[in-house]
Structure 1
Amino acid sequence: MESKEENEMRVAALCKSLGHLWSEEDVVQVSDEIPQHKREECSRTLFGKLYSKPNANYPAFVTTMKKAWKTEVVICSQKEPGLFSFLFPTEEEKQRIKRNSPWSYSTNLIVLKQCLPEVPEHCYDFTKEEFWVRIGGVPPGWRIEKVFNELGKRVGNVKEAQIDSTTNVQNRGGRVRVEIDLTSPLKLGAIMDIGNSWLWVEYKYERLPHYYFSCG
């Protein structure tokens, strides 16, 4: 989201380009306070955008997402082709959906963003999404949160790290939740420099939708 200074510069440039098509009388002063019920409504709302293929059958999309989310009470509205708003009945229900993201429709990634009461729909950045990335190949002695955080930073902005329990018979190391730039190729792994040797560790992305392996 742009800063206050950037916003003021953009508006000033727009007004200059309009010339005599606007005047100071066209400035509408609104209250500094957003009504509480609107804030609560925004808090329970997510915007979702189909990342690669915006054209989708709207009724089929809504039916599919309600089944996937196991809810019938979400209110879905289509803002434009491929851009939707989802109003949930409770904050807990919204958090459940966001926590279990990413979601996809017909192998097409749905990028979800929290609604902010001061920001128009077209100002959101839908080029980033959070994924759980499982990291395999880390030696047992180095399976600590600090190491997984450092390895996760090679993928994107680390939000959380989880180390597998040693009592888990399927112990594979751990995973990190990372905000990934969708405009960049996905990394397949990294090299751990542990002093006397280099080790290759592998990244596996959970709930990864349609993906081009040839270009990343």
Structure 2
Amino acid sequence: MEADIIRSLQSCKLTEEEEAVTKVNAEDLAAGVYECEASMYVKIHTTKNLNISIKGFSMGMPKAWNVREMKVERVNFNLFHLFFPSLEDMKRIILGSPWYFENNLLVMQRREIGKNLQDYTCNNPL
């Protein structure tokens, strides 16, 4: 059985597209690192089954925080990934906490390079 699997894997060949190497220049890498550093996960801490609209959240919170061009991605029903235009905006918001959305506490956790989504619990307010 093991030998069959090994033989099968050895016979696999990659396509030209799969073999292609993607080159990342220093500018793209720096932009990716900055995007990570200027983002955080925000969990709407609630025991209620809220019907949270991403449109309502993504329009309401930037106004409350006085941030332009903040990008919001929904991770699940009450967890959002926020991308800020500047690290300074994000730090200002963290320092101004606690924050609430529809009378529910927002629990924030800064994104860190090398961490996976599963590593973020967003259970403890900053």
- Aligned-residue offset at 1:60: 1.1
Q: Point out which structure has higher relative CO (alpha carbons under 8 A, 6+ apart).
A: 2
Partner of 2:40: 46
CA distance in 2, matches of 1:121, 1:104: 23
In the alignment, residue 44 of structure 1 is paired with which amino acid?
A
Moved segments of 4+, more than 2 Å: none
Larger % of helix: which? 2
Is the 8 Å Cα contact of residues 55 and 82 (structure 1) preserved in structure 2? no
Partner of 2:120: 124
In the alignment, residue 58 of structure 1 is paired with which amino acid?
I
Aligned-residue sequence identity (percent) comes to 24
Is the 8 Å Cα contact of residues 39 and 84 (structure 2) preserved in structure 1? yes
Report which of the two structures shows the higher radius of gyration computed on alpha carbons: 1
TM-score, structure 2 as length reference:
0.70
Larger % of strand: which? 1
In the alignment, residue 116 of structure 1 is paired with which amino acid?
E
Report the count of equivalent residues: 98
CA RMSD of aligned residues (A): 1.9
CA distance in 2, matches of 1:123, 1:61: 23
Could you say what secondary structure the match of 1:129 adopts?
coil
CA distance in 1, matches of 2:58, 2:121: 23
Deviations 1:66-123 (A, max 9, x none): 1111122111111111111111111111111111011110111111100012111222
- Aligned-residue offset at 1:37: 2.5
5+ residue gaps, structure 2: 1-5, 10-28
| Structure 1 residues 43-192: aligned runs within 5 Å | 43-52=37-46, 53=48, 55-130=51-126
5+ residue gaps, structure 1: 1-22, 26-34, 131-216
